Each structure stands twice: as structure tokens, then as C-alpha cells.
């Protein structure tokens, strides 16, 4: 512009006064800018001073932000405030003052300045490079910029660049300090929450405390806590959303916080209004997930928020896992107490001592497994020369099996001593068991009546392992006559058979804890071994036979755990009284 290249024509004294005035103004400007550390105040002065000094109608300042080449409009005058925050991509910003009207090339950022009738563009250059751009419009009245005014603006730009650079540094320090304060606050929050979480072992309370903490700290309106149950996830707590919300096992694949905005995965949770999913991890495994709604302010979740949620989630997962282990311990203790109760109940139902019989030797034992089973044996004195001998195996384990055994024992004792036949007695017991138990509960039952005077044994086998009658010579007969398992069907008929026991005969009754005992290779002990052991000991007592069978089973098992109760009753006919 030609009229700018001509100095004002004025007397030399007046020119010196004008130069002195400008230098004084620059000194005051420098002192004013240097006295402030507020970037907003500095930017405002950088515009206000030249616009007031030269009567310029509009102006703006852009500062370079990350990434490089991105300039953001930070201050303006004479223009709409709605433009604040607008971003312009200027890859190669000017390094000297330029007149926009002198540039003929087209670009988006130049069009922006042309649109708002800005004439001059001045760079703010510091030791860090171009940190900003100052755009100035026309002077009021339309007068052109003089050489002296341009020199003044250049000097002002150099002073302003230093002040703006300092302001940016102060702002960065303040931002860092703010982030540090925020981190300290978050750490204090995590510490306080952790201390609160450790005061309870109630998993739902832990999840609820964490939900409230997250909602209060980040000011969000939704929060759900999912915890792992096997391969599935269960919503332990849901705040601000339907508590019956579904959980997807795929959430367990998360190892880092996942923002749902514009995400292709987990769209179900996005439709529910959640904004971020945070895995709750322990020992490098995802054992739970936090689903967090949007901030009430509308602000996005930044990296600091995600780190806070991740740390808090992991801390809460530790508390939840401790609570789960505590619940499991209590459950194991409860089950152990139940097993002990059932075991004591079972043992109380067995006879504490066996009767002494004329011409017969009788022995019995019951060795309960670690799990309480339903093995039962009994010897009931009916009259002077008659004894009822029973052995049974109740289905199931634990207190339920023990209670069913108690029903059997009560029924047997009530009916064995009244004037009813054995088939009738067994049929009545069958009906009682059927009426009072579920379809999956039943009893294998063997009952025999020993007449010590006639040397007879009348028996009924209701689905039990067939006992053996083994003669002194080793002949084996299975005692199978009877009927079906007790409790399966009502109104069933049963049969009996009577055998004569010769001297040396042994009747061996047992449950499948003997025959189904396994060695480490999972081979069963079997019935043949029982028969061979009894046959090979014709001259020993019933008690000795029991002890030898138990010892052989233990040797055979070689330390393998006992899976079922071991119960046996042996009756031996003696060759003479006593």
C-alpha cells in the first residue's frame, strides 16, 4: 500500500515528540503486560492498547494449540463472542507482519480473516516459535496504517509475545497444579472409599458404596456393578437404571476402560444411557465390570477419570472378592456343621451294642465317609428267641439322608415287634417312605428274622445288594427274594424266603461302600473278593471276618478317599452253644 510507505510530513521537533510518546507508551505497555500473569488479562491488553491507540475497529488473537498448526481464537473485540474457541488450521503461519489484502492465494484461514474484514496479521514469536497471531481490522475513518504505526505494532508484538508466552507457561503450571490437586483429591477419595469398603463383608453393600462414590465424585446419573459368577456376570447393584438389566459375558473380555460413544461393541449398554465400561480386575483377570453413565455437566470422560475409575474398580474388586471368600467360608462352615449334625444323627440311630445270641455269633460295623451317607443297620429283639436284623442304604447324602434313615428306623422299630408278617411290614414301610419323600428319594432295604431256637432265617430283600449265605465248605448262596426298592411305588407286594443255618454257615450283609470301593486306578473292590475272604476263614469269629474285610478294602484303596459309607453285618451259626 503506497500511502503507508511515506512517512508523515511534520517538523522534526514534532516527530521527536511523537517518537518519545510512542516509546513511553511501549514502556508502559511492557510494564503493564509484565505485571500480569493472567493470560486472559494479557490478551485483552494486547488488543485494547493498539485498538485504542490507533482507533482500530476490530481485532482478534489466536494461540497455537496441540497438535501443531492448530490455532484457536482466544480473544476478540468488535466481533461476535460466539467466535471464541473457533479453530483454524494454519500449517505455515507467517513470521512477519502481513497485509491480508496483499495476499492473492486462497485458503480457508485467509478467507476467515477476509470475511471479518481484518487487514493486518501479526505473528507473536517467542523462543518457542510462533505461539500466536494478532489480527487487526481497519482504522476508524478508513485511514491507512503509517510506517511508524507498523513499527509500533511490531514492537508491541515483540513485547506481547514474551508476555503471552509467560501467560501460557503460568496457565500450563496452573493446569498441572489443578490436575495434581485433582489427583490428590481422587487418591484421597480412593483411600476413604477403600477404608469404608473394608468395614463390611456384605457384597451388595460394598457395590452400593462404590456406586454412590462414583456418582458423587464424577457427578454421573447412572452406575451399575457387575460381578462374575462362574462364566456369567450378574448385576449386583444398578443405580439410575432398571435393576433387572441384562449382563453380557463378553464384558469379561475387557481389560481396559471402554468408551461407548460411537462404539460398535456393547451397543446394548449404550442404549441404556451408559457412557463407559470399566473392567474390575484382580490377579490379571476381569472379575467384574463398572458401567458408568454420562456426566451431568455433559463433559467427556478424560484419561484422569478413566484412571480413577480403573483404580477404584480394582480396589473394590479386592473387597468384593474378600467378601465372597468370607461368604464361602461361612457356607463351608454351615455345611460342615450340617454334616456333623447329620453324622451324629446317623450314628445315634445305629445300635450301641449287639445282643448276645444262643448258638450264633453276630458282628456289625459302620464307617462313615467324609460325606454323610445313608447307611443303616439294626438288630431288634422281637422275643426271647427271635431277632430282626436289617441293613439299608438311603439315597442321597447329608441331613436329608439322615432324616430319611430316621424315618426308616422309627417305622422298623414300630412294626417289627407287632403281630404282622414280614411282607406286610415291608409293604407298610414302603408306603410310608413313598408318601413322605420325593420321587428321587428311595431306600435299598434287607430285613431278616433270625430264630435262634429253630436255626432259621426268614428274609425279604427290597432291592438291596444280595447278602451271601456262605457255608463252612465255601458254598455261596445269594439272598435275593423280596421285591422292589422302598419308596419307588406305593402298594407293592413283597415275598420272603426261609433258610436253615447249619453250623459254620455265615450270613454276610453289606452296603455298596464295600464292593464299590476303588483303588487309585478306579478298579472296584467287587463282590468276589468279599466272598473269597469269607470263604477262606471258616473258623474265625464274625468280628474277625469284619476286620479282615475292612483291612483288605483299605489296602486295596491305597489311600484313595472313601467315597461312601462302609456298613456290614455278619451272622455266624456256631457248632455248639456259646
Please tell me the predicted confidence (pLDDT) of residue 271.
85
Sequence-distant (6+) residues with CB within 8 A of 43 are 61, 74, 75, 164, 167
Cell numbers placing 160: 506481547
Cβ neighbourhood burial of 558 (10 Å; 0-12, 13-18, 19+): exposed
Q: What are phi and psi of 536, to 5 degrees?
A: -80, 0
Give the CATH superfamily of 350-573: PPM-type phosphatase domain (3.60.40.10)
Which of 249, 272, 246, 275 minimizes the C-alpha distance to 260? 275
Which residues neighbour 318 within 8 Å (Cβ) at sequence distance 6 or greater?
A: 282
CA gap 455, 7 in Å, rounded:
148
Same fold, 2-172 and 350-573: no
The whole-angstrom separation of Cα 75 and Cα 316 is 46
CATH of 2-172, one of 3.40.50.620, 3.40.50.300, 1.25.40.80, 3.30.450.40: 3.30.450.40
pLDDT, position 371: 62
The segments of the chain whose pLDDT lies below 70 read 1-37, 67, 174, 178-192, 196-197, 243-244, 370-373, 398, 562-563, 576-578
Quote the longest CA-to-CA distance of the chain: 159
CA distance 9 to 147: 12
Secondary structure (3-state) at 138: coil
Tell me 463's DSSP state: B
Q: Where are the domains of the chain?
A: 2-172, 198-326, 350-573
User: Which residues does residue 150 pair with via DSSP β-bridges, in sequence order?
Assistant: none
pLDDT given for residue 578 in this prediction: 41
Going along 307-417, which residue ranges are E strands? Answer: 360-367, 375-381, 386-394
| C-alpha distances out from residue 523 to 509, 518, 520, 553, 554, Å | 22, 5, 8, 12, 13
**Edge-to-edge strand ranges of the sheet holding 285-292:** 232-239, 223-229, 285-292, 276-282, 258-259
Beta strands 118-126 and 129-137, pairing class: antiparallel
**Rounded CA gap, 433 and 442, in Å?**
8
pLDDT attached to residue 311: 83
Count of C-beta atoms within a 10 Å radius of residue 156: 22
pTM greater than 0.85 (yes/no): no
Q: How far apart (Å, rounded) are the C-alpha atoms in residues 565 and 578?
A: 31
CA distance 108 to 86: 13
d(CA 36, CA 48): 15
CATH number of the 198-326 domain: 3.30.450.40
pLDDT of residue 3: 45
Amino acid at each position: 500500500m503506497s500511502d503507508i510507505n511515506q512517512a508523515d510530513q511534520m517538523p522534526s521537533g514534532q516527530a521527536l515528540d511523537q517518537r518519545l510518546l510512542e516509546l513511553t507508551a511501549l514502556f508502559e505497555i511492557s510494564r503493564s503486560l509484565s505485571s500480569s500473569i493472567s493470560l486472559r488479562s494479557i490478551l485483552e491488553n494486547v488488543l485494547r492498547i493498539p485498538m485504542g491507540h490507533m482507533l482500530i475497529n476490530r481485532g482478534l488473537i489466536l494461540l497455537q494449540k496441540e497438535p501443531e498448526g492448530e490455532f484457536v481464537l482466544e480473544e476478540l473485540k468488535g466481533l461476535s463472542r460466539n467466535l471464541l474457541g473457533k479453530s483454524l488450521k494454519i500449517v505455515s503461519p507467517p513470521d512477519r507482519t502481513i497485509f491480508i489484502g496483499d495476499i492473492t492465494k486462497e485458503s480457508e484461514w485467509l478467507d476467515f480473516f477476509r470475511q471479518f474484514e481484518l487487514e493486518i496479521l501479526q505473528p507473536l514469536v517467542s523462543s518457542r516459535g510462533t505461539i500466536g497471531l494478532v489480527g487487526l481490522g481497519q482504522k476508524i475513518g478508513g485511514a491507512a496504517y503509517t510506517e511508524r504505526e507498523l513499527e509500533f505494532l511490531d514492537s508491541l508484538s515483540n513485547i506481547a509475545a514474551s508476555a503471552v508466552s509467560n501467560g501460557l507457561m503460568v496457565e500450563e503450571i496452573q493446569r498441572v497444579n489443578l490436575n495434581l490437586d485433582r489427583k490428590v483429591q481422587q487418591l484421597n477419595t480412593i483411600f476413604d472409599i477403600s477404608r469404608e469398603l473394608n468395614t463390611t463383608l456384605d457384597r451388595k453393600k460394598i457395590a452400593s458404596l462404590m456406586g454412590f462414590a462414583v456418582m458423587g465424585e464424577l457427578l454421573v446419573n447412572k452406575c451399575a456393578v457387575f460381578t462374575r459368577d462362574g462364566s456369567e456376570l450378574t448385576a449386583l447393584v444398578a443405580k439410575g437404571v432398571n435393576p433387572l438389566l441384562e449382563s453380557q459375558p463378553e464384558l469379561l473380555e475387557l481389560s481396559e476402560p471402554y468408551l461407548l460413544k460411537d462404539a460398535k461393541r456393547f451397543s446394548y449398554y449404550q442404549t441404556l444411557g451408559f457412557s463407559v465400561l470399566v473392567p474390575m480386575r484382580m490377579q490379571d483377570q476381569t472379575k467384574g465390570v463398572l458401567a458408568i453413565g454420562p456426566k451431568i455437566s455433559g463433559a467427556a470422560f478424560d484419561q484422569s477419570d478413566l484412571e480413577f475409575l480403573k483404580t477404584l474398580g480394582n480396589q473394590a474388586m479386592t473387597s468384593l472378592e474378600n467378601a465372597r471368600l468370607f461368604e464361602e467360608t461361612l457356607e463351608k462352615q454351615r455345611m460342615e456343621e450340617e454334616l456333623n449334625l447329620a453324622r451324629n444323627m446317623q450314628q445315634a440311630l445305629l445300635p450301641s451294642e449287639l445282643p448276645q445270641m444262643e448258638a450264633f455269633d453276630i458282628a456289625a460295623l459302620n464307617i462313615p465317609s467324609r460325606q454323610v451317607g445313608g447307611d443303616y443297620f439294626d438288630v431288634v429283639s422281637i422275643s426271647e428267641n427271635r431277632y430282626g436284623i436289617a441293613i439299608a442304604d438311603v439315597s442321597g447324602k447329608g441331613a436329608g439322608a439322615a432324616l430319611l434313615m430316621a424315618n426308616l428306623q422309627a417305622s422298623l422299630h414300630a412294626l417289627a415287634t407287632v403281630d404282622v408278617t414280614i411282607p406286610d411290614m415291608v409293604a407298610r414301610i414302603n408306603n410310608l417312605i413313598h408318601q413322605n419323600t420325593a420321587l428321587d428319594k428311595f431306600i435299598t432295604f434287607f430285613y431278616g428274622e433270625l430264630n435262634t431256637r429253630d436255626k432259621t432265617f426268614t428274609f425279604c430283600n427290597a432291592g438291596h445288594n444280595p447278602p451271601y449265605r456262605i457255608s463252612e465248605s465255601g458254598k455261596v448262596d445269594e439272598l435275593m427274594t423280596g421285591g422292589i426298592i422302598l419308596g419307588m411305588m406305593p402298594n407293592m407286594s413283597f415275598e420272603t424266603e426261609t433258610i436253615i443255618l447249619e453250623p459254620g454257615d455265615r450270613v454276610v450283609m453289606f452296603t455298596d461302600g464295600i464292593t464299590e470301593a476303588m483303588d487309585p486306578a478306579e478298579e472296584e473292590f467287587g463282590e468276589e473278593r468279599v466272598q473269597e475272604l469269607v470263604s477262606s476263614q471258616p473258623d474265625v469269629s464274625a468280628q474277625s471276618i469284619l476286620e479282615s474285610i475292612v483291612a483288605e478294602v483299605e489296602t486295596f484303596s491305597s489311600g484313595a478317599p472313601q467315597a461312601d459309607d462302609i456298613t456290614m453285618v455278619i451272622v455266624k451259626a456256631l457248632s455248639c452253644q456259646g
